[in-house]
């Protein structure tokens, strides 16, 4: 039976006169989407396992405003952002980690313009740091020798130039990393970015996620590694489109690490 972990909120820690090392920004998908909740739990296990002092905002966390901004509603975005910034600044938050590239990009690049200045890192970057510091000592585990392909999400890759950290984590898993034809700066969008996640598809001959999943399956990989809850949904649907869900797993890097560490 896995260990029961109690996750404190910022309000609870502040009431005790304590301050966490890092705030874990869970995000809307990580909070409410059943599949993304598994990624959240995996990251919590890793943070707990490595002894990092962390907390969440809990019910005080609201959407960063990314979907509203990408859909063109700047007014709603600024309302949401200012609410979050007021909360973060009230708790004197210095460092934030998140499992969502959309939250990562918005907190890092959009919030400073509105008075929200924080050190923001994506969880793949934190995983790499924990490995470099020797706090995660993976040696393949359940994935050793398996063929894995990695999907670069738009907001982590092209928008913020984070390409090496996720791949270094996969290297530590001792897997056979097989790149898709379109990867890194030439990676193909899963089809959910820019608020497309929340609207009906436009007319065309093929869905983008089907195109991308086809590329992933063409590598012959047993696992498609992702770093974004939006990408997770789109690529899983694409794999199902080809009736390959029983043969190919789509997993977030946090899930890969947690399973390798047997957490």
**Residue ranges per structural domain of the chain:** 10-127, 137-260
Residue 217 has pLDDT above 80, yes or no: yes
Class of the domain covering 10-127: alpha beta
Pairing of strands 95-98, 147-150: unpaired
User: What pTM, to 2 d.p., does this model score?
Assistant: 0.95
Tokens of 22: 């890092």
The domain defined by 137-260 folds into: Rossmann fold (3.40.50)
Please give the Cα distance from 220 to 155 (Å, whole number): 26
Same CATH topology for 10-127 and 137-260: the answer is yes
Percent of the chain clearing pLDDT 70 (strictly above): 99
Residue 52 has pLDDT above 60, yes or no: yes
Strand stretches in the chain, DSSP E:
22-25, 54-55, 95-98, 119-122, 147-150, 176-177, 223-226, 249-252
Please give the Cα distance from 26 to 63 (Å, whole number): 10
Q: What is the pLDDT of residue 1?
A: 39
Residue 248 has pLDDT above 50, yes or no: yes
Residue 68: pLDDT band by 50, 70, 90 thresholds?
A: very high
Please, which residues have CB within 8 angstroms of residue 217's CB and are 6 or more apart in sequence?
239, 242, 244, 248
The predicted-structure confidence for 116-162, as pLDDT tens digits, reads as follows: 999 999 999 999 999 999 999 877 678 889 999 999 999 999 999 99
């Amino acid at each position: 039976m896995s260990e029961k972990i109690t996750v404190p909120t910022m309000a609870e820690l502040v009431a005790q006169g304590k301050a966490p090392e890092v705030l874990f920004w869970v995000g809307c998908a990580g909070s409410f989407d059943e599949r993304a909740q598994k990624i959240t739990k995996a990251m919590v296990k890793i943070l707990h396992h490595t002894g990092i002092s962390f907390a969440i905002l809990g019910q005080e966390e609201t959407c960063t405003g990314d979907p509203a901004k990408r859909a063109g509603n700047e007014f709603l975005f600024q309302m949401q952002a200012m609410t979050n910034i007021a909360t973060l600044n009230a708790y004197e938050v210095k460092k934030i980690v998140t499992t969502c590239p959309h939250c990562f990009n918005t907190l890092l690049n959009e919030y400073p313009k509105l008075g929200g200045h924080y050190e923001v890192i994506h969880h793949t970057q934190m995983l790499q740091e924990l490995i470099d510091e020797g706090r995660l000592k993976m040696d393949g585990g359940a994935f050793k020798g398996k063929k894995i392909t990695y999907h670069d999400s738009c907001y982590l890759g092209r928008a913020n130039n984070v390409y090496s950290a996720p791949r270094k984590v996969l290297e530590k898993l001792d897997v056979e990393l097989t790149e898709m034809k379109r990867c890194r700066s030439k990676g193909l969008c899963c089809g959910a970015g820019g608020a497309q996640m929340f609207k009906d598809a436009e007319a065309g001959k093929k869905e983008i996620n089907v195109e991308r999943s086809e590329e992933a399956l063409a590598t012959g990989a047993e696992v498609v590694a992702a770093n974004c809850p939006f990408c997770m949904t789109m690529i899983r649907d694409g794999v199902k489109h080809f009736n390959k869900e029983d043969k190919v797993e789509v997993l977030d890097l946090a899930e890969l690490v947690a399973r390798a560490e047997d957490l």
